Amino acid sequence: MAVLPIRIYPDKVLREKARPVEAVTPDIQQLVDDMAETMYAAPGVGLAANQVGVLLRVFVIDIASDDEPSDLRVFINPRILDRHGEVVWKEGCLSFPGVSENVERAERVVVQALDRNGESFTLEADGLLAIAIQHEYEHLDGELMIDHLGPVRKRLVQRKLQKRPAVEAGS
């Protein structure tokens, strides 16, 4: 496994739409493993493939606390089938280091996807898992956390990121 470089906003790949995975091959499984390692090293609770420069519809999530065993979940070609309720959650994003903002999302979601072995599953999620699923799902469509912000908050986030040290920006 390898830790991959995480793309930082305003990297253009973050705005590109990912394409479906045609088959769950050993290369896709290796991508999933590398993404998980990258997410844990960051550390984060979720990571979409385009955040590491791969335009495929894949994301990984693990919302387990540090004192709990890993609960890695893999979503390949996910589709959100239903959304219920509304909640505001303070979100962060590995592509927006040091930024956390209140974002309105559905309180519960139903998602269908393939797992690491290519097996189809359907999951109903709420709480942090539902938030993470929606956040990573949007990444696959080139949508970002800041797209949920008003113009003033969005400008403040962009300015904060422009002021970060060059080393953190990956330059």
* pLDDT at residue number 114: 98
What is the SS3 assignment for 6? coil
Which residues neighbour 114 within 8 Å (Cβ) at sequence distance 6 or greater?
Answer: 21, 24, 75, 76, 77, 120, 121
Q: Which residues are identified as catalytic?
A: 136
Per domain, the residue ranges of the chain are 12-162
**Domain 12-162 belongs in CATH node 3.30.479.30:** no
How far apart, in Å, are the Cα atoms of 14 and each of 17, 68, 154? 8, 31, 16
Each residue's pLDDT tens digit in the chain (171 positions)? Answer: 799 999 999 999 999 999 999 999 999 999 999 999 999 999 999 999 999 999 999 999 999 988 899 999 999 999 999 999 999 999 999 999 999 999 999 999 999 999 999 999 999 999 999 999 999 999 999 999 999 999 999 999 988 888 776 544 443
* pLDDT at residue number 13: 97
**CA separation for the pair 171, 164 (Å, rounded):** 11
* pLDDT at residue number 161: 83
* pLDDT at residue number 165: 65
How far apart, in Å, are the Cα atoms of 22 and each of 27, 31, 114? 12, 14, 11
- First-last CA distance in the chain: 24
Task: Give me the phi and psi of 76, to 5 degrees please.
Answer: -115, 130
* pLDDT at residue number 169: 40
